[in-house]
Chain A
Amino acid sequence: MSIGAVPLLEVEGLVQRFAARGGHRLAVDGVSFTVQPGETLAIVGESGSGKSTVARIVLRLLDPNAGRVVLDGDDITRVKGRALRRVRPRMQIVFQDPYSSLDPRMTVQATVAEPLRVAGRRGEVGVRVREVLDLVGLGPELADRYPHELSGGQRQRVGIARALVLSPELLVLDEPVSALDSSVQAQILNLLVDLQRRLGLTYLFISHDLAVVRHVADRVAVMHLGRIVETAPTEALFAAPAHPYTQALLSASPEPDPELERQRRRIVLRGDVLDATEVTSGCRFRSRCWKATEECATTDPALIVLGGGEPSPARHQAACFHPS
């Protein structure tokens, strides 16, 4: 990871509104971040945080209401039609649900070959499909199987193979292991890390699971109700979480250690996640935050660099008036 080099992905001021009962809901409210080539940026958040929406905007599955998406220097926010189809092979996605992300009527071979056919590279199908199945650890004998004949882990590997077949630069991973059994999660995570190293991929890793994130990410951005509330290099975030929400998240994550669980002082938040239509002013976390003051109710906290200095991806930043 080289800071200072041109970021592979640059996202600025993304805003996404969805129609909801009684008006609209701000799913994404001013999100900006960068991802350097070869690094893994994890976006962590709970449901309603907007992290999946961000992923979809980056992939141009959604048109944002405002903001820019820049891929390797090219502004791809508003491209359409043929221009968009030219961009697509450069960024691919691995979905969460290994079952519904594969067409149940297509064999493994057909699924993995499809991107090549769409891109008009029919001639490469035989060789490339074999290559990529090998990369993800699937034997050629599985090529004629249907999704329902595969285990969850195998299906997810097919999803990864499909994402890799066009040799993308950026891979968006939307909760890629959340729907897998524990013992299989580890296999797939190891595979993802290995693939990144071998192919020089850049990952945008979306997850709600902090423990998983710790294993794969170089940097972490924590989202809450459409905003990024904290961003830092992984170690810094886990060692000294600054935003109360991050602290609450870490505190609530169950650890497979009974002694630790018995002893830890857990921050149990009061109340439930605010509906995104209800927020009017100030910090969106204040209704559940134990540090909330007057200021928090009236003013929106912006991301500030902890310890002062220029904001840059490598610095620890939090959007709070009372960071730790």
Chain B
Amino acid sequence: MSMRVGDESGRARAESNDAGLAPSALVPSPRGGEWRRALRAFRRHKVAMVGLTFLVFIFLACFVGARFAPSPTEQALLEPTHGPSWDHWFGTDELSRDELSRVLHGGQVTLKLAIGVAILTTVIGVLIGAFAGFYRGWIDELLMRFTDLWIALPALPFLAVAVSIGTVDLGPLGSLDLGGPLGMTILLSLLLWGSIARVVRGATLSLREREFVDAARTIGSTNRRIIWRHVLPNCLGPITVNATLVVAEAILVESTLSFLGFGIQPPTPSWGNLLTYAISNIEDTWWLVVFPGAVIFLTVLAVNFVGDGLRDALDPRRQVRG
């Protein structure tokens, strides 16, 4: 535990805010808790709001709108494969299936997977990061080397091997198809939790030195309680931002893997595997690449925008003291 020998600078610290040069007690802070302030700041971030709007739209389209689209598996056999038309906004694919509804249904799969990955990585990452950062010492070393292992794991070979294993029998839990959406969610989570663990560890390391953690100790709080009540709530900012970025990453990784044939296997559509066949015939059926590609691109962009907005809104530097 570090010792604060420089209590000479206590006044200095208390009277200067995080931004360093800027003087304290300058600006009155708005009333209300952390989240209300952050929400206000987020709403003012135009780019983030645009991203959020688009995401809401995409989610609605994929989960609600898909019901109204023609079936993704129905083949309009009387029509040859064609580009965008009034009946088929995104055209039809090589089996004369409606591309738009394939995109929408694929979106359901990809987006559910991405959110699932975000949640799972957050749970794993937070647990490991918080323990490592709080207890330090050999626990920290052990957990961080473990994390490094997973971060260093090459995604493609790992997934290729996993997918080739196919279905795994989990005994009482049933069987798990590693190439299916749930399997993919778990596999991708294993690959992506490292960054959140590191972020949480870093935040925990600095938070545990704060005096209110000492205060919690002096009133007799157990370590578990301190982590849960004091450390983690103060990490929510970086955790949220990171989770958002993992969503974007997951979409991209899934798309790439499915496109390469390692991810979600047909006939289950996903944004990635929609592109698999299309790429080789891009000259004849450009719409089969452009539309799904554009949707992936715009969605990932929107998620990044929202992540930017969240980061700015939750930046502690903006919290000037009154």
- Chain A residues with CB under 8 Å of chain B are 18, 27, 46-48, 52-53, 56, 59, 61-62, 84-85, 88-89, 91-93, 95-105, 107, 114-115, 118-119, 146, 148-152, 159, 162, 166, 174-175, 178-180, 208
Partner of A92, one of B3, B218, B229, B233: B218
State how many residues of chain B have any CB contact under 8 Å with chain A: 37
> How far, in Å, is B11 (CB) from chain A's closest CB?
5
Task: Mark interface residues in B207-241 (1 if CB within 8 Å of A CB, else 0).
Answer: 00011101111111110010001100110000000
Given contacts A152-B14, A179-B10, A208-B8, contact A62 B1 (CB under 8 A): yes
> How far, in Å, is A113 (CB) from chain B's closest CB?
11
A46 touches B8 (CB 8 A): yes
- Chain B residues with CB under 8 Å of chain A are 1, 3-8, 10-11, 13-15, 29, 31-34, 210-212, 214-222, 225, 229-230, 233-234, 319, 321-322
B215 touches A179 (CB 8 A): no
A148 touches B319 (CB 8 A): yes
A27 touches B3 (CB 8 A): yes
Sample of 30 A–B contacts (CB below 8 Å): A18-B3, A27-B5, A47-B7, A61-B218, A89-B220, A96-B211, A100-B13, A100-B14, A100-B210, A102-B212, A102-B215, A103-B212, A104-B234, A105-B33, A105-B34, A105-B233, A105-B234, A107-B33, A114-B216, A114-B221, A114-B229, A118-B219, A118-B225, A146-B33, A146-B34, A149-B322, A162-B219, A175-B7, A179-B10, A208-B7
Chain B contacts for A52, CB-based, 8 A: 3-5, 7
Partner of A103, one of B5, B31, B217, B230: B230
**In the bound complex, what is the Cα–Cα distance between A46 and B234 (angstroms)?**
32
Given contacts A105-B34, A151-B322, contact A96 B7 (CB under 8 A): yes
Tell which of A100, A150, A166, A174 has the most Cβ of chain B within 10 Å. A100
Given contacts A89-B219, A118-B219, A149-B322, contact A175 B10 (CB under 8 A): yes
B14 touches A95 (CB 8 A): no
Chain B contacts for A46, CB-based, 8 A: 8
Chain B contacts for A115, CB-based, 8 A: 219-220
A178 touches B214 (CB 8 A): no
A interface, over-half SS: loop
**In the bound complex, what is the Cα–Cα distance between A84 and B11 (angstroms)?**
32
Chain A contacts for B319, CB-based, 8 A: 104, 148
**In the bound complex, what is the Cα–Cα distance between A151 and B33 (angstroms)?**
16
B4 touches A85 (CB 8 A): no
Tell which of B4, B7, B211, B220 has the most Cβ of chain A within 10 Å. B7
Tell which of B15, B34, B321 has the most Cβ of chain A within 10 Å. B321
**In the bound complex, what is the Cα–Cα distance between A19 and B292 (angstroms)?**
59
> How far, in Å, is B28 (CB) from chain A's closest CB?
9
Which chain B residue has the least Cβ–Cβ distance from A27? B3
Which chain A residue has the least Cβ–Cβ distance from B217? A61
**In the bound complex, what is the Cα–Cα distance between A101 and B322 (angstroms)?**
16
**In the bound complex, what is the Cα–Cα distance between A89 and B220 (angstroms)?**
7
**In the bound complex, what is the Cα–Cα distance between A46 and B7 (angstroms)?**
9
Which chain B residue has the least Cβ–Cβ distance from A28? B3
Tell which of A103, A150, A179, A180 has the most Cβ of chain B within 10 Å. A103
Chain B contacts for A100, CB-based, 8 A: 13-14, 210-212
A162 touches B215 (CB 8 A): yes
Given contacts A88-B220, A146-B33, contact A101 B5 (CB under 8 A): no
> How far, in Å, is A188 (CB) from chain B's closest CB?
13
> How far, in Å, is A37 (CB) from chain B's closest CB?
20
B321 touches A88 (CB 8 A): no
Chain B contacts for A84, CB-based, 8 A: 220
**In the bound complex, what is the Cα–Cα distance between A88 and B6 (angstroms)?**
26
Tell which of B4, B216, B222, B233 has the most Cβ of chain A within 10 Å. B4
**In the bound complex, what is the Cα–Cα distance between A98 and B219 (angstroms)?**
17
> How far, in Å, is B239 (CB) from chain A's closest CB?
13
Which chain B residue has the least Cβ–Cβ distance from A110? B229
**In the bound complex, what is the Cα–Cα distance between A52 and B32 (angstroms)?**
34
B220 touches A103 (CB 8 A): no
Q: Give 14 new A-B contacts, CB below 8 A, not counting A118-B225, A151-B322.
A: A52-B7, A96-B10, A96-B211, A97-B10, A97-B211, A100-B13, A102-B212, A105-B233, A105-B234, A119-B219, A146-B33, A149-B322, A152-B14, A162-B219
